[in-house]
Structure 1
Amino acid sequence: MSKTLAEKTYSIIEEKIVKLEYKPGSFITENFLEKNLKCGRTPIREAIQKLAREGLIKVLPRKGLLITEININDQLNLVQVRREIERLMAKLAAKNSNTNERKKFREISYAMKKCKKNNTAKFIKLDSQMNDLLSVTCDNEFVRRAIKLVASLSRRFWFYRNKGQLEDLLVMAKLHSAVCDAIAQGNENLAQSKSDKLMDYIENFTKQSINTI
């Protein structure tokens, strides 16, 4: 299904915020976005509403659009919520995936294991594929909506903390691969357990970042 103009506009702005082109704490305006994206006001306003719901933007009347700061306490609270959503998604994916989808999880797992230490771009692409497949196979629209509310803030934190490079890429790839393998086996309990281990690592990483933010 092709994206609407508003969805495309959202994706472009979200990417610029997540990858820190629009820096935390900075102000932008609708006029700036219209000129920068060469887009009309209606799709931009729809995108802004969605970004505001996700916590990436605050709309300040007569001032403009504030790109929200990165707050470590908010990030820790977000990890708590994300842990529960990710665990449920892994369980549902293990339960619902068909033969072809399980094959795709195995392929992603294999590719993750082959990731090289400095190949951040490849890992990010595989991570995106895994997330898309999880979203489909969990087969629950409410879960899909819930993960979208925390996904962008999570991604932005990683880019901010790692400056676009995952120093622990091999560890992250191994943990993601284990989740994919458990789902491919159709083992719901194991999928939840591997998801928890991944989130344990992410939570510890977040806590270690307290003195660097």
Structure 2
Amino acid sequence: MTTQDSDPFTIRTFVTLRPDRLIRETEQGPDGPLNLAELFSEPGPYNAVRLARGAEMHHHPASTDEPNDIATALAELFGYDPMDIRGTVHFTGNSGETDSAPGMDDDAYAGLLDALAQICNDRCARLWRKYRPSGTVMVRPTDYAPGDTFWAFGTPHRFRGLVNYPADSKTAQMFPGVQYVQCDDGFEMTASGSVYPTRADRAPAGYWQRTGNQLLPDD
């Protein structure tokens, strides 16, 4: 029997990962669980790989697409013998050995992302995503270069640089190493966070270079 969460406010997430390392997350919609048998066009059965409690990876053994090296490494990380995993893989919650699976809950989703990050760090690889202009991305203060537009509280500013607080200031003493954003118009803001949520079409060039993510047209 498929494990279902009775809480209607629980967010559940499906994830796909292509061989070119494009990753895509979608929240479970009103249609509910995925029909796993409809995910693959190849003839014959697909394979469900249980990774952890509440997380499964689905792939098709008959796929002739490019090897999915990240998915292969992920299966090995969770204790499976080496597999020849090809094409796009799909991550879901537990299917209960049926052809239907819900999305992952927050804990399972976070665990999957942690495992993928470990593999990418070990391989000096990175996953990438596509964002619409209105989407939200996480930008580091260090992604900005002088002259970039820095948005704060809905207002644009011209970024000048990151500045250290004076060593004898209370801020520096309480938070060693913290800096603040300085802009040409005099706007200043403490850069205490490691990343900040930002509209995708307002992210600086440095963000896209760092992540390899792609900004899609607004259509």
**TM-score, normalised with respect to structure 2:** 0.25
Query: Which of 1 and 2 has greater Rg?
Result: 2
Q: Higher helix proportion, which one?
A: 1
Q: Higher strand proportion, which one?
A: 2
Structure showing greater relative contact order (alpha-carbon pairs closer than 8 Å, 6 or more residues apart) = 1
